Structure 1
Amino acid sequence: MAEHPYELITHFNLWVFLIPFIPLLGSLFTLIFGKKYLQEKAHQIPVLAIFISFLISLKVLFEVLSGKIFDFDLYTWISASNLKVGLGFLVDPLSIVMTTMVLSLSFLIHVYSIGYMYGDPGYYRFFSYISLFTFSMLMLVLSNNVVQLYLGWEAVGLCSYLLIGFWYEKKSAANAAKKAFIVNRVGDFGFALGVFALFYFTGALYYQDVFSKLPLLSEKYIDFLGLEIHVPFLIAFLLFCGAMGKSAQFPLHTWLPDAMEGPTPVSALIHAATMVTAGVFMVARLHGLFELSSYAMAMVAFVGAFTCFMAATIAPTRFDIKRIIAYSTMSQLGYMFMACGVGAFAAGIFHLFTHAYFKALLFLGAGSVIHAVHTNDIRQMGGLRKYMPYTFVTFMIGALALAGFPGLSGFFSKDEILAMAYFSQYPWGKLVWVTGLLVAFLTAFYTFRLVFRVFFGEYKGRKDFHPHESPRTMVIPLCLISIGAVFAGWLGVPHSLGGDPVFLNFLESVLGHPKTLPMEHQTEYLLMGLSVMAAFLGILLAWIVYLKRPSLQFWLSQNLPSVYRFLYAKWYFDEVYDLLFVRSTLWTAKWMVNKISDGILIEGIINGTAKLISLAGSGLRTVHSGIVNHYNTFILVGLILYFILYFCLR
């Protein structure tokens, strides 16, 4: 952890404690009493609880801004030898930024859900689950030790399973929930091993203790099958397995698009404020560990770059409005990991912060559209700006921010990452910069493909009803979140534009400054110009293809059909995983049932058990002869054997 001027407070603080536990109480109360007593008013307690928690987080934020860091245990729940784990809290610039972002968006998503979920049979259950989701994420980001981080990590996974499969009557929703849960189990197994390895090699689980012992790991190696493995890389790799699962990075990325089967507010919460951001937070929190190994940093950068590019090439082939936005999330998370991989951890968290607002805006805008036209297929939309003016304006703001339009939040955070990559001292920095620039063009293209097909042209949906604007409970949160999508980036205006990046300075006080080469303003302006040009070219191409000359939409499928099939099939990852893991598992299970069950299990175990009992009974019958002298002999032999063993084993 970087040196900082903060005052460390280690005694219990009631306000910090209340931040996560008020949403927990709201969730439990609604789950217990919602169905019988609250019914259509089941949203009231969770919404109020989240709002109160948000206000408290602002109070704590001002205390951190005034120079305080809170690090204390509520109680110790594991204590054995040198192993001590407590339920505790660490509130520093990183965790308070995450906390206020999570709560502000969660509150607005709760309000939006009142209109979106009204009349659903599971209304009370939905609000209980999303409040529990918020509590789990807060416990994750506020934890002061890696065990509590892991518990919060697993809790958000459980809540995502419950919410993705909320409409469990639909087979597709149930399957999507199972897929998300199973894929994340793969990554979380590695994450658990990483926690064990961290404790084994450092003897510490609390962040402050881990940070103090990291220098001892820098020169430590272990031998594995004749290979010398750097211990920091081993631990970082295992922990990053969990990040690849939670944040949907290659190769554990396939669950996220299918997770769109859940209600749209859930999609907004998962993609903007909870779950998928957990991986980026974890890497930033343990940045000192990753920086000990250049291989670990390269791993983070290359996984992020590959996922960023892959998702950006798949998104233009999708027709489900929510899945298009889901692939943009995967791509933008790749941006954040690229930033971490070049040592710009504060820039990665800055992009996480701005992305949360414009991505929540896009998902909730998509939900508003779906609410109006009753379909997710953009081919059955069009011309909706005439019917849904508020949704159109707010969605356009989110799209421009995602594309990196100058002056909006995404512009500042994306360009900060590109600048840090270009000037990075790591040799892969330039490759990250090129990838980021290419993806900026692709992002602008597929984002405005979505905008033009949904809101422009003629309406292509059902003729028996007319689209309509959403109710105020949905429109007002859209308008409020759009403020964040516009202005969140202004907290990090770079010096080259005459600003003061207070947000980055705030985070760098605990995340450290990136190792960069000397920066010249002229070069920064050139990089910024290239980034803006990439965004404008992407928007221009989308306008030509989808509005000016619509026949060009089919150019790729007609002229390069193999490339189009490859992208449309999502690089065939689902098919490969289905062949290697799903089908092989099902085949093995069926073979065991058909071939083994009838033979070994029934004949061998059941009939064999009966024969064993019969043989044992026959043997016992010879022993139980009824002759007392025989029994005395057995007792005497048993005593002799007992004393022999006793004296031999003393």
Structure 2
Amino acid sequence: MYLLILWLPLLGSFFSGFLGRFLGHKGSSVISVICVFLSMLLSFVAFYEVGFMGLNYCIMLSPWVEVGILKISWSFLFDSLTVTMLVVITVISSLVHLYSLEYMQNDPHLPRFMSFLEIFTFFMLVLVTADNLVQMFVGWEGVGLASYLLINFWFTRLAANQSAIKALVVNRIGDFGLSLGILTVFYIFQSVDYFIIFSLSPLFSNYCLNFGGVNISGLTLIGVFLFIGAVGKSAQLGLHTWLPDAMEGPTPVSALIHAATMVTAGVFLLIRFSPLLEFSSTVLNILVLFGSLTAFFAGMSGIFQNDLKRVIAYSTCSQLGYMVFACGISCYNVSMFHLANHAFFKALLFLSAGSVIHALANEQDMRRMGSLIKFLPLTYSLMLIGSLALAGFPFLTGFYSKDFVLELAQVMLNKNIHSIEGAFACWLGNLSVFFTAFYSFRLIYLTFINSVNTTRENILKIHEPSLLMLIPLIVLGFGSIFIGYLGKDLFIGLGTDFWKSSIITLPSNSYFIEAEWLNVNLKWLPFALSALGVSLATIINVTKTHIYLYNTFYRNICFLINKKWYWDVLYNRFLVYPILNFGYLVSFKNVDRGFIELLGPYGFSKIVPTWSYIFSQLQTGQLSHYLFFIVLGACLFFLIIFHQIKLLIFYSVLIFFI
């Protein structure tokens, strides 16, 4: 049963991809949806058995690599952390598959699209169920490949090509860091198996590696390499540039990448390695700083974006910052809780945005929308629920996890734990709440409430989508309202034993309980900042006060943030262009076309013109001549080999008798 959770999406992908031409739209769609829905049902069974009944499973399928002490097998681990991810992945993927049937119905390549969606789901399931680092890396690279295929699904569009290549190349940096982490783990622990690594981690807490006379903590080095991998995949500050551009794919792809699969892989990696990260305070401080900076930077960048999907993409980047920040303060269960909650309201926001784009004939600029509340009332209601959950409105899903992360940051600040990092993270995290509420309701006003700003032709065609698109939206709407309340006591409640040994926190790093006794006024701070962001967005959009703010300084700030703080420009100017110039001017012109050709064929022909003329005459272009020289060369080769063997036998016999 447990292995079927993985094999069903793979089976559906094979049928849709290789037999899509024969099955047609309907056949491939039905098979894909059935396979992923069956996988979802089995995930619920696994969640009940492992999460509620406390039965952990480790299934050994077959040996894979056995070289010396390196032994890797195809084996799958099902613990509380894994089954939680299985439920999140399969539920969101099933709803996205169902939604795609209507959204992509006019696309002639629907079978290929469904195949890519299923292979994406399969590789993510491989990633979360692996019980060793190498098998996890297979899933890690698989989701990168699948994301490239899905972002570049409309491959005739130049923007889609560029965005897919950018996502792949930027993620190669993080993947290189992760591969170095895997090699370091094997060097220190002599194994890549999770059980061995985690059980030996306390014994290696003081183990150091010597580089040029400098001692570096082995666990810190591993943690830094794993964090680099997470930075690339989960789009943390520095390697975040691929995430907003990944919007060039179809909207269901955006929902799957941002809600349940690719971007959550990095956070899952950090949570999975909690038994190792706990022994390195340096890595935990790095997680706190980068997580809070990412939340703040992405929240501010989302304010001045005008593309509907890009605003939601920056909100994903910001929420991932909260998750990494929660890992940095050793509250891995809170990070996992926020990851699960975020999947529901982020999928709801993206699919609702897809409903709007579908109704407006693929228009994505919010400035060309408006007054859609009259034409799409159900979509408006569901997007409002998603925006309120994202902003942390009380008693919705986002409130139970995001506000709790901020309460833990307040505890850090009050107790002077990592005092500088604590203060830094606390204030940046709370400011990010204000920005999140502001851009969420700016989106609502520009899209649904402000004066209409689209063409008459679009207005006459606007209508609510069919049930195939509405059912996933309604299910996600209920999830965005109730999942946080239903899962709070199970995932982060006091005394819960749900996570068991899948998440380890040292007693010295645990101040989780103290958040319950935090000052009530401090607990209300995130809500006050959210209310302020909503109020400011309302005032600006209702009264049009932004017209009076157009002085030079304000316009420059808006332009800077709208251009994503020029991260892409800086990367191009200081990294990409110098590397390309080096490749052309030094590597190609001087080495390949210069030194090698002058030393090789071109120089040889000038130095020995007679022999070069003879050799050039051998190139007759006739197949029989080439076959003759091939056979002649093979005979000479075997003649030399046999001669060497005879000499070897002769000398062996001679040595024996001597």
Distance between the aligned counterparts of 2:497 and 2:302, measured in 1?
34
Does the 8 Å contact 2:411/2:518 carry over to 1? no
Match of 2:212 in 1: 225
Tell whether 2:563 aligns with 1:569.
yes
Match of 1:582 in 2: 576
Tell whether 2:164 aligns with 1:177.
yes
Match of 2:400 in 1: 412
Question: Which range moves more in the overlay, 171-180 or 609-618?
Answer: 609-618
Provide, for residues 319-359 of structure 1, a one-character-per-residue CA deviation record: whole Å limited to 9, x for no partner.
Answer: 00001100000000000000000000000010000000000
Letter in 1 for 2:456: K
Distance between the aligned counterparts of 2:299 and 2:601, measured in 1?
56
Unaligned residue ranges in structure 1 (runs of 5+) = 1-14, 619-634
Within the candidate set 550, 553, 556, 2:544 is matched to 550
Within the candidate set 482, 485, 489, 2:484 is matched to 489
Does the 8 Å contact 1:492/1:504 carry over to 2? no
Within the candidate set 135, 138, 142, 2:122 is matched to 135
Distance between the aligned counterparts of 1:463 and 1:617, measured in 2?
74
Match of 1:8 in 2: none
Within the candidate set 56, 78, 82, 1:69 is matched to 56
Distance between the aligned counterparts of 1:220 and 1:520, measured in 2?
34
Structure 1 residue 464 displacement after superposition? 1.9
Structure 1 residue 477 displacement after superposition? 0.7
Provide, for residues 501-552 of structure 1, a one-character-per-residue CA deviation record: whole Å limited to 9, x for no partner.
Answer: 38965236531356117627552532321111111111011101112x2132
Question: Which range moves more in the overlay, 414-423 or 116-125?
Answer: 414-423
Distance between the aligned counterparts of 1:203 and 1:185, measured in 2?
25
Does the 8 Å contact 2:123/2:139 carry over to 1? yes
Match of 1:512 in 2: 504
Provide, for residues 227-248 of structure 1, a one-character-per-residue CA deviation record: whole Å limited to 9, x for no partner.
Answer: 2211111011111111000000
Does the 8 Å contact 1:452/1:546 carry over to 2? yes
Distance between the aligned counterparts of 2:608 and 2:371, measured in 1?
78
Match of 1:9 in 2: none
Identity between Structure 1 and Structure 2 (%) = 39
Structure 1 residue 81 displacement after superposition? 1.9
Q: Secondary structure at the match of 2:514?
A: coil
Match of 1:446 in 2: 439
* CA gap 1:358/1:601 in 2 versus in 1, 3 angstroms: same
Q: Secondary structure at the match of 1:119?
A: coil
Match of 2:450 in 1: 457
* CA gap 1:38/1:253 in 2 versus in 1, 3 angstroms: same
Structure 1 residue 158 displacement after superposition? 0.3
Within the candidate set 11, 31, 34, 2:20 is matched to 34
Does the 8 Å contact 1:491/1:502 carry over to 2? no
Tell whether 2:389 aligns with 1:401.
yes
Tell whether 2:6 aligns with 1:20.
yes
Structure 1 residue 399 displacement after superposition? 0.2
Distance between the aligned counterparts of 1:197 and 1:615, measured in 2?
56
Following superposition of structure 1 onto structure 2, how do residues 232-251 of structure 1 map, counting pairs within 5 Å? 232-251=219-238
Task: Give every structure 1 segment of 4 or more consecutive aligned residues whose post-TM-superposition deviation is greater than 6 Å.
Answer: 611-618
Tell whether 2:189 aligns with 1:197.
no
Tell whether 2:521 aligns with 1:535.
no
* CA gap 1:522/1:73 in 2 versus in 1, 3 angstroms: closer
Following superposition of structure 1 onto structure 2, how do residues 71-110 of structure 1 map, counting pairs within 5 Å? 71-110=58-97
Q: Secondary structure at the match of 2:215?
A: strand
Within the candidate set 460, 469, 490, 2:464 is matched to 469
Structure 1 residue 469 displacement after superposition? 1.3
Match of 1:290 in 2: 277
Unaligned residue ranges in structure 2 (runs of 5+) = 614-642
* CA gap 1:223/1:475 in 2 versus in 1, 3 angstroms: same
* CA gap 1:502/1:125 in 2 versus in 1, 3 angstroms: farther
Provide, for residues 104-161 of structure 1, a one-character-per-residue CA deviation record: whole Å limited to 9, x for no partner.
Answer: 1100000000011111121110000000000000010111111111110000000000
Distance between the aligned counterparts of 1:348 and 1:355, measured in 2?
10
Match of 1:306 in 2: 293
Within the candidate set 421, 430, 433, 2:409 is matched to 421
Letter in 2 for 1:90: L
RMSD of the alignment, in Å?
2.7
Q: Secondary structure at the match of 1:89?
A: strand
Distance between the aligned counterparts of 1:445 and 1:185, measured in 2?
34
Structure 1 residue 16 displacement after superposition? 0.9
Match of 1:47 in 2: 33
Structure 1 residue 80 displacement after superposition? 1.8
Distance between the aligned counterparts of 2:317 and 2:574, measured in 1?
23
Structure 1 residue 426 displacement after superposition? 4.2
Q: Secondary structure at the match of 1:71?
A: strand
Match of 2:138 in 1: 151
Distance between the aligned counterparts of 1:52 and 1:144, measured in 2?
24
Structure 1 residue 593 displacement after superposition? 4.5
Distance between the aligned counterparts of 1:589 and 1:25, measured in 2?
43
* CA gap 1:433/1:494 in 2 versus in 1, 3 angstroms: farther
Letter in 1 for 2:545: S
Does the 8 Å contact 2:12/2:32 carry over to 1? yes
* CA gap 1:520/1:357 in 2 versus in 1, 3 angstroms: closer
Within the candidate set 365, 380, 386, 2:374 is matched to 386
Does the 8 Å contact 2:101/2:468 carry over to 1? yes
Match of 1:60 in 2: 46
Distance between the aligned counterparts of 1:149 and 1:579, measured in 2?
35
Paired residues, number: 611
Distance between the aligned counterparts of 1:522 and 1:94, measured in 2?
28
* CA gap 1:617/1:360 in 2 versus in 1, 3 angstroms: closer
Structure 1 residue 492 displacement after superposition? 4.4
Match of 1:631 in 2: none
Q: Secondary structure at the match of 1:88?
A: strand
* CA gap 1:196/1:612 in 2 versus in 1, 3 angstroms: farther
Q: Secondary structure at the match of 1:519?
A: helix
Structure 1 residue 206 displacement after superposition? 1.3
* CA gap 1:74/1:518 in 2 versus in 1, 3 angstroms: closer
* CA gap 1:207/1:509 in 2 versus in 1, 3 angstroms: closer
Does the 8 Å contact 1:74/1:88 carry over to 2? yes
Tell whether 2:356 aligns with 1:369.
yes
Tell whether 2:279 aligns with 1:316.
no
Q: Secondary structure at the match of 1:418?
A: helix
Distance between the aligned counterparts of 2:374 and 2:53, measured in 1?
48
Q: Secondary structure at the match of 2:450?
A: coil
* CA gap 1:230/1:46 in 2 versus in 1, 3 angstroms: same
Does the 8 Å contact 2:177/2:229 carry over to 1? yes
Match of 2:600 in 1: 605
Letter in 1 for 2:426: W
Match of 1:626 in 2: none
Q: What is the TM-score of this pair, normalised by structure 2?
A: 0.88
Distance between the aligned counterparts of 1:452 and 1:580, measured in 2?
39
Does the 8 Å contact 1:40/1:123 carry over to 2? no
Q: Secondary structure at the match of 1:406?
A: coil
Question: Which range moves more in the overlay, 486-495 or 283-292?
Answer: 486-495
